[in-house]
């Protein structure tokens, strides 16, 4: 399977799949004229600015600038690598991905085995929950917590039996399988080389990635033994700092998630789901990382952190706050729910019920309040020293916030609490006396109209067929005009692959600087009506040809005065002078 994927295959694949279908199966698309719209999955918004064009096989968000082909969408939305996205599209289209031999591209062939092996382990643990002679304790434990068989199945709960080698025996004696199981943390190898099961006598919670594939496990003890939770170690497919337990299930349960709850334990996630609150996720034995938060805020605009009300809980909440600051862009909101002493979400929801719990999440403390209360507790704001200290404490934290209305509001509040003038405070915190005005596209645009190269490229991206009939005149690419080599390449491409759409065209520049140039150009509004495309395009090409003629004529005239011309060059100059008037006249 090793080897590069041939570009021609990618071209054909993109002609075959429909970006609308690819996106429609993942987002709620609405038809709007010739295009489709949805609320952008890559930034938070209430009115849709995410647009999918079936014609161009291209998506673009006018809010955040996200754009790309069906491949790019899968890469960003499903977090896939390029080959994985191609595999996914090919699979949906029912075709095999060919590979070119002899290149340096080497996908890890064991990766697929890893997922397969994890799936085998998951099935094994599930069967043990039903069949193992000692599973009654596990079943009782789940029943005591009020879990139905349905919820257990939704989350794929299982049971790792006691004993050191139940999974080991189940996996068999194949050395490759055993080695992979060690790499995935299902088995542990002792110093003397012998293997044993990592998870024993625990309720097993499969951890799934965005696509629902099991990538690791969390195991919870049945009693009060320590550690309460044990997780798979980091592995080639499992990265704790990025994954969230329950996110796949939460997204599956609801198309329109508004709020996600971050809790500490897997049991909390499952218990809340049992009460119809299927929007809880848990980190995997780590603090919430900025990657987690970015992922959460890509899914919803509001995140509520649930923590114990004790000191340890407040410290953990503060860490979460610090990590949340850099990702708190416009429209994103973080809140904190502190639980009563001795309660976790699992016990609390069972005691007070769904409605009361839901109310608590809605009334959770806003981040700004938690922020100023926590800082206020460290200083005495009645004294000048204390107020100065408050500013110093707040400064490095506010610097983490992206430039936004929220940041302005936080600064207002700090100004109120410290008694320091708003303008001086801004200088103190951000070091800039006046905010630098953002350059508008108008200011950037130069006085002259768009160059013919730009016009031609823009129109080709809009309607690639325009280029199919054009034979590039020889010497065209020598024209000393910015962008002409890109235009030549583009013309060559649409001539060779006349059925490529915009999405497919851009794939030819994947990873190169031209890709973003082209995409940016493609999303700029066109000032020509559709029935004028051909005339405008031909006009631009004509202007370029004339420019080329002038350039070549001047070059030959100059050479004639200097080193002289060959016979062929004399002939060429004669021809040029007959066809066109040189500008020197």
- Contacting range for Zn ion; rule: CB under 5 A; set: 53-61, 181-189, 339-347, 464-472: 53-61
| Strand bridging mode 259-263 / 280-282 | parallel
Closest CB to Zn ion among residues 61, 521: 61
DSSP 171: H
- Using CB under 5 A as the binding rule, whether residue 52 contacts Zn ion is answered as no
Interface with Zn ion (CB under 5 A), residue total: 7
- Using CB under 5 A as the binding rule, whether residue 63 contacts Zn ion is answered as yes
Residue 59 CB, nearest approach to Zn ion (Å): 10
Residue 329 CB, nearest approach to Zn ion (Å): 11
Closest CB to Zn ion among residues 63, 206: 63
Give the Å distances, CA to CA, from 547 to 32, 472, 477, 579: 42, 14, 12, 13
Residue 302 CB, nearest approach to Zn ion (Å): 17
Binding mask 320-359 for Zn ion (x = CB under 5 A): ----------------------------------------
- Using CB under 5 A as the binding rule, whether residue 27 contacts Zn ion is answered as no
Choice from 14, 61, 89, 262 touching Zn ion (CB under 5 A): 61
Residue 40 CB, nearest approach to Zn ion (Å): 3
Residue 566 CB, nearest approach to Zn ion (Å): 58
Closest CB to Zn ion among residues 44, 323: 44
Closest CB to Zn ion among residues 45, 243: 45
Give the Å distances, CA to CA, from 3 to 33, 92, 94, 98, 106: 42, 21, 20, 9, 6
- Using CB under 5 A as the binding rule, whether residue 43 contacts Zn ion is answered as yes
Residues facing residue 337 across a β-bridge: 306
Closest CB to Zn ion among residues 330, 554: 330
Residue 557 CB, nearest approach to Zn ion (Å): 54
3-state class (DSSP) for residue 249: helix
- Contacting range for Zn ion; rule: CB under 5 A; set: 6-14, 34-42, 363-371, 445-453: 34-42
d(CA 497, CA 223): 65
- Using CB under 5 A as the binding rule, whether residue 185 contacts Zn ion is answered as no
d(CA 195, CA 462): 61
CA nearest to 543, candidates 474, 468, 484, 471: 484
Residues 73-112 that bind Zn ion (CB under 5 A): none
d(CA 337, CA 275): 18
Residue 359 CB, nearest approach to Zn ion (Å): 32
Residue 381 CB, nearest approach to Zn ion (Å): 40
Question: What secondary structure does DSSP assign to 500-529, as a single string?
Answer: --HHHHHHTTTTSHHHHHHHHHHTSPP-S-
Give the Å distances, CA to CA, from 537 to 157, 162, 449: 61, 74, 15
Choice from 17, 40, 129, 296 touching Zn ion (CB under 5 A): 40
- Contacting range for Zn ion; rule: CB under 5 A; set: 42-50, 174-182, 351-359, 368-376: 42-50
- Using CB under 5 A as the binding rule, whether residue 188 contacts Zn ion is answered as no
Residue 60 CB, nearest approach to Zn ion (Å): 9
Choice from 4, 15, 26, 42 touching Zn ion (CB under 5 A): 42
Closest CB to Zn ion among residues 65, 582: 65
CA nearest to 216, candidates 240, 242, 180, 191: 240
Residues ≥6 apart with Cβ < 8 Å to 581: none
| Longest pairwise C-alpha distance within the chain | 101
Residue 22 CB, nearest approach to Zn ion (Å): 17
CA nearest to 295, candidates 256, 243, 254, 335: 243
Give the Å distances, CA to CA, from 435 to 23, 405, 408, 427, 439: 39, 13, 12, 10, 12
- Contacting range for Zn ion; rule: CB under 5 A; set: 15-23, 62-70, 183-191, 516-524: 62-70
- Using CB under 5 A as the binding rule, whether residue 64 contacts Zn ion is answered as yes
d(CA 310, CA 252): 33
Binding mask 225-264 for Zn ion (x = CB under 5 A): ----------------------------------------
Closest CB to Zn ion among residues 45, 249: 45
Closest CB to Zn ion among residues 41, 313: 41
Give the burial class of 216: count Cβ atoms within 10 A of its Cβ; 0-12 exposed, 13-18 middle, 19 or more buried: buried
Under 8 Å between Cβ of 29 and 20: yes
Q: Using omega within 30 degrees of 0 as the cis cutoff, is the peptide bond preceding 227 cis?
A: yes
Closest CB to Zn ion among residues 300, 410: 300
d(CA 272, CA 304): 14
Residue 64 CB, nearest approach to Zn ion (Å): 3
- Contacting range for Zn ion; rule: CB under 5 A; set: 61-69, 199-207, 243-251, 373-381: 61-69
What is the contact surface with Zn ion in residues (CB under 5 A)? 40, 42-43, 61, 63-64, 66
């Amino acid at each position: 399977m090793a080897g590069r994927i041939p570009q021609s295959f990618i071209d054909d694949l993109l002609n075959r799949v429909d970006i609308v279908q690819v996106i429609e199966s993942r987002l709620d698309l609405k038809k709007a004229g010739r295009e489709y719209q949805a609320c952008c999955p890559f930034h938070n918004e209430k009115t849709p600015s995410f647009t999918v064009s079936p014609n161009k096989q291209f998506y673009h968000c006018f809010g955040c600038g996200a754009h790309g082909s069906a491949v790019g969408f899968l890469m960003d939305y499903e977090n896939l690598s390029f080959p994985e996205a191609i595999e996914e599209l090919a699979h949906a289209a029912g075709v095999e991905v060919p590979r070119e031999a002899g290149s340096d591209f080497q996908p890890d062939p064991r990766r697929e085995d890893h997922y397969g092996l994890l799936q085998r382990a998951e099935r094994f643990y599930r069967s043990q929950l039903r069949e193992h002679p000692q599973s009654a304790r596990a079943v009782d434990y789940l029943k005591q917590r009020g879990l139905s068989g349905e919820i257990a199945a939704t989350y794929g709960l299982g049971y790792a039996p006691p004993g050191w080698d139940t999974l080991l025996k189940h996996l068999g004696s194949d050395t490759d399988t055993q080695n992979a199981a060690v790499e995935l943390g299902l088995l542990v190898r002792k110093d003397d080389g012998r293997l044993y099961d990592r998870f024993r006598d625990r309720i097993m919670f499969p951890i799934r990635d965005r696509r629902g594939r099991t990538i690791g496990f969390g195991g919870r003890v049945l009693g009060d033994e320590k550690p309460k939770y044990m997780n798979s170690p980091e592995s080639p497919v499992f990265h704790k700092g990025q994954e969230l337990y329950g996110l796949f299930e939460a997204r599956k349960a609801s198309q329109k998630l508004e709020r996600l709850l971050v809790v500490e334990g897997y049991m909390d996630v499952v218990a809340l789901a049992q009460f119809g609150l299927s929007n809880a996720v848990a980190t995997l034995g780590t603090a919430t990382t900025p990657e987690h938060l970015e992922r959460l805020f890509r899914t919803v605009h509001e995140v509520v952190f649930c923590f114990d009300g004790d000191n340890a809980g407040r410290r953990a909440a503060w860490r979460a706050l610090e990590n949340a600051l850099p990702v708190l862009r416009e429209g994103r909101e973080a809140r904190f729910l502190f639980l009563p002493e001795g309660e976790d979400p699992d016990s609390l929801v069972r005691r007070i019920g769904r409605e009361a719990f839901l109310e608590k999440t809605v009334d959770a403390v806003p981040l700004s309040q938690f922020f100023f209360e926590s800082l206020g507790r460290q200083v005495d704001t009645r004294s000048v020293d204390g107020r100065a200290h408050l500013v110093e404490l707040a400064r490095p934290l506010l610097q983490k916030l992206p430039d936004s209305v929220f940041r302005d509001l936080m600064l207002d509040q700090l100004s109120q609490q410290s008694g320091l003038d708003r303008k001086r405070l801004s200088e103190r915190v951000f070091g800039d006396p006046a905010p630098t005005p953002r350059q508008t596209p108008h200011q950037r645009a130069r006085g002259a109209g768009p160059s013919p190269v730009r016009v031609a490229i823009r129109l080709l991206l809009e309607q690639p067929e325009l280029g199919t009939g054009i034979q590039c005149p020889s010497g065209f690419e020598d024209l000393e005009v910015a962008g002409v080599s890109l235009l030549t390449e583009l013309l060559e491409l649409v001539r060779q692959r006349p059925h490529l759409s915009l999405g497919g065209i851009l794939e030819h520049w994947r990873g190169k600087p031209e890709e973003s140039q082209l995409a940016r150009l493609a999303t700029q509004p066109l000032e020509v009506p559709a029935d004028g495309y051909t005339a405008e395009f031909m006009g631009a090409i004509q202007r370029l040809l004339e420019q080329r003629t002038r350039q070549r004529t001047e070059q030959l005239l100059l050479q004639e005065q200097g080193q002289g011309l060959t016979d062929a060059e004399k002939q060429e100059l004669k021809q040029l002078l007959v066809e066109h008037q040189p500008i020197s006249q």
